[in-house]
Chain A
Amino acid sequence: MNLPMQPAHQAAPLLVLGWGNLSRGDDALGPACVAALQARLPAHLNEQVEFLDDYQLQIEHALDLVGRQAVLFIDASLSCAAPFEVQNPQPRRDTSYSSHALSPEALLQVFSDVQGQDPPPATLLAIRGEAFELGQPMSAAAQAHLEAALDWALAWVMTTLTSSLT
């Protein structure tokens, strides 16, 4: 059986995907970074990058990876060094005991399972968060980390676009 795992539209070569809950303090770092990065992107590059955000990473996001040349994941992190860390996740099976969490590595594994091919090169931007209480705004420390991460993320987009277009 050949299932239709193609994107509904022509995929932009770059995908920037961030996730987190806007109502839980520093958990908003992922979507906030996506929104700010999109605002900073020069207009003539809009069709080269697709920006997505969600509350949690889940298996259907594997469909969003189809047809990409590179992917940037963005999430808040409790364990990375401040202000941010950059990693290169590889496909790996999830060992969670709940459906309520999915790691970037597990998502890449899902892509491999369903597509039968390697996923696009993925980079993970982990931004240090400190406080995740429901109903709280983003902490001052996290906002500072976000600003530092934004500069790096914009440079990543521009560099990656340059190399992918050539």
Chain B
Amino acid sequence: MSFALETAAHPEGLRRVAIDPVSRVEGHGKVTLLLDEHNHVQQARLHIVEFRGFEKFIEGRPYWEVPVMVQRLCGICPVSHHLAASKAFDRVLGATPISASAEAVRRLMHYGQMLQSHALHFFHLSSPDLLFGFDSPVAQRNIVGVAQAHPEIAKKGILLRKFGQEIIRITAGKRVHGTGAVPGGVNKLVSAEERDSLKRELPQMLAWAQDAVDIAKQLHAQNPALYNRFGSFRSNLLSIVRADGAMDLYNGVLRVRDEAGHILVDGVDDQKYLDLIEEEVRPWSYMKFPHLRSLGRELGWYRVGPLARVQNCDFIPSERAEIERQAFVDWGKGEPVHATLAYHWARMIEMLHAVEVIAELLDDPALLSGDLLTSGQRQRSGVGIIEAPRGTLIHDYDVGDNDLVTRCNLIVSTTHNNQAMNEAVRSVARDYLDGHELTEGLLNHIEVAIRAYDPCLSCATHALGQMPLDVTLLAADGTVLDRVQKSALGGVSRSINHSSDEISL
């Protein structure tokens, strides 16, 4: 694990390629590549502008408002922020543990969120790349067969996501930005009618989730050369696990495995995460670079999210997902799977697990009756850690005697994966772009690598006109040699040598 290609030895003599949104509104990424005169990649960096002002947005507010407020940070995973903040303020109130009913409702909400987010990612965002190939005719010939075997894939994705959203609506009160979790517990339980309406859908959701795992597994089996190599690099793996080593996406202790799969750190209390992790600032990126204190910046960075979680746990405590985890582990032949595209396979295993957990929770009588709230001895600070769809999410707050938040620190999964996403971009640049003329198809390889992590783009602002990509090739003297622009609608135009004559690609 090194920082090769992070900084070129002599950047002054290199051409610069930027994949850059035209509008520098908060939350968008760009990729810059520096190429020498032979088109060899000398430097590759991913920049993501993240969460400017989020902490400021929260500080000074009453603590009880925060679990609702933080959902405004993200329209895709508001539930994760909602629950992480609630868990942190449970600590502040001394409500540890919360009641069995409150935990059951929160867990149902959380696994509903995992299901809907994973379904969105796989079926809508990634399936076009995975099922139709990304500039690989060989893959296309194999994978199109898979697509033809699953003609209802888009519809399944929507209905899986809809089911997850319905769980969120029932537990949180609204499909988006509900108020179900509160410091110390929840403000509502689930009715028997709501439970039964969800249970009726379960068999179909379970079958579709299993189908999704099978699709992901088939993709790897049909083209191992691509799936094992693309964006592959070795890294440490971090997540929370249950005290007995089981996968637990809602609550647990911190565990880290090294690149060979050996446990480096285990059983770290979530309240003491700062003993384990520190964040580094680098001058070329707005986003910090977390790493393990004990190993330092060069050896201590890690990956989070499905790829880490599926391999970090000792087992998955649900029958079908555990079978699939074992198949995934077997694929690594005794070593951790480090391929970037394996994120999709791991994500679908988690989605299957989420459906199984939802099924168990819907049989739990604590969902229907019991105490909503717990209280205890008041504390001045609290940390809430949860496994959000994209990885470990940390909320850390100090609260004054006047109930106002005096300090807030958020570490989101995209920040944890900052170094890893940079490594993925470098790996792809080295393997696919080095020495070649740049094309839209080659540049899409970089997007595919980023897409596997699905970075949170400091989101919830997606006004029209914000998402185009602008790819510019500059000579060492700054002259524009080549420029490719991709609009938000996917149209691609190219202008060469400042020519106003544009050609469609």
Contacts and interface: CB of A to CB of B under 8 A. Distances in A.
Interface of A: 1, 3-5, 19-24, 26-27, 54-60, 62-63, 75-80, 92-103, 105, 110, 113-114, 124, 126, 129, 132-135
Interface stretch (B178-186, B358-366, B431-439, B464-472): B464-472
Given A92-B489, A98-B457, A100-B456, A5 B155 contact: yes
A5 B157 CA distance: 12
B490 A93 contact: yes
Interface centre among B121, B124, B161, B162 (most CB of A within 10 A): B124
B18 interface: no
A95 to B, nearest CB: 4
Contacts, number: 153
A112 B451 CA distance: 24
A76 B459 contact: no
B154 interface: yes
B241 to A, nearest CB: 26
B442 interface: no
A133 B53 contact: yes
15 contacts: A3-B159, A21-B461, A56-B75, A58-B120, A59-B161, A60-B161, A77-B463, A77-B465, A79-B464, A95-B489, A97-B451, A113-B155, A126-B464, A132-B25, A133-B53
Interface string B431-463: 000000000000000010011001111011111
A27 B457 contact: no
Contacts of B370: none
B76 A59 contact: no
Contact of B463 (A22, A95, A98, A132): A132
Contact of B462 (A59, A97, A100): A100
Interface of B: 23, 25-27, 29, 52-54, 56-57, 69, 72-76, 78, 117, 120-121, 123-125, 128, 152, 154-159, 161-162, 165, 175-177, 447, 450-451, 454-457, 459-467, 486, 488-490
A114 B156 CA distance: 9
A69 B35 CA distance: 53
Contacts of A20: 461, 463
Contacts of A132: 25-26, 461, 463
A55 B75 contact: yes
A19 B447 CA distance: 26
Nearest to A26: B463
Contacts of A5: 155, 158-159
Contacts of B175: 54
Contacts of A58: 76, 120, 161
Contact of B162 (A26, A60, A95, A126): A60
A78 B490 contact: no
Nearest to A25: B461
A71 to B, nearest CB: 16
A17 B55 CA distance: 31
A97 B120 contact: no
A126 B152 CA distance: 33
Contacts of A76: 463-464
Contact of B455 (A98, A114, A126): A98
Contacts of A105: 489
Contacts of B454: 98-100
Closest A-B pairs by Cβ, 4 of them: A79-B465, A55-B75, A56-B75, A95-B490
